[in-house]
């Protein structure tokens, strides 16, 4: 979701080479998994690369306070969570596990995770 990141450039891809699904925190939410299922089952993709990044606004994010703010603004209580995190590497390992365990996806063996360093534009693979 972060507009500072040129993921096609960082990965050496051209437009059309990959489906990029972006969301807050880069977390594999139900909607993200739905999009991955469509990408694999209808469009033929077989690999999944997850990328989180340093200086992410979701690091230390307070979900309860944010949900209360939305409700106080007059809206209904959101049906979705906005979980923050404190350890980007642990969050990436968890995200990889969520995708690998998703029965909707026929291709779960080739799931890799990376941390994009916004200061250096370098990618670090998380195993």
CATH number of the domain residue 57 falls in: 3.40.1050.10
pLDDT at 75: 80
| Helix (H/G/I), strand (E/B), else coil: 28 | coil
pTM over 0.85: yes
Q: What are phi and psi of 122, to 5 degrees?
A: -100, 150
Number of domains the chain contains: 1
What does DSSP assign to residue 86?
S
Distance CA 5, CA 26 (A): 12
Q: Which of 3-12, 70-79, 100-109 has the lowest mean pLDDT?
A: 3-12
Residue 20 lies in a domain: yes
Nearest to 95 by CA among 116, 117, 112: 112
| Tokens read off for 100 | 């690998």
| Residue 93 resides in a domain | yes
Please indicate, yes or no, if residue 8 is contained in any of the structural domains: no
- Domain residues for 41? 15-101
The predicted-structure confidence for 46-100, as pLDDT tens digits, reads as follows: 999 999 999 999 999 999 999 899 999 998 888 888 889 999 999 999 999 999 9
pLDDT the model gives residue 41: 96
**Would you say residue 54 lies in a domain?**
yes
């Amino acid at each position: 979701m972060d507009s500072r990141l040129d993921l096609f450039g960082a990965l050496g891809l051209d437009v059309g080479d990959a489906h990029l699904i972006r969301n807050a925190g880069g977390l594999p939410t139900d909607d993200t998994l739905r999009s991955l299922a469509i990408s694999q089952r209808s469009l033929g993709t077989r690999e999944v690369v997850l990328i989180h990044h340093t200086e992410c606004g979701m690091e230390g994010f307070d979900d309860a306070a944010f949900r209360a703010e939305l409700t106080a603004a007059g809206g209904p209580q959101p049906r979705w969570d906005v979980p923050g995190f404190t350890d980007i590497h642990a969050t990436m390992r968890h995200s990889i596990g969520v995708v690998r365990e998703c029965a909707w996806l026929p291709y779960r063996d080739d799931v890799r995770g990376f941390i994009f360093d916004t200061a250096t534009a370098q990618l670090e693979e998380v195993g």
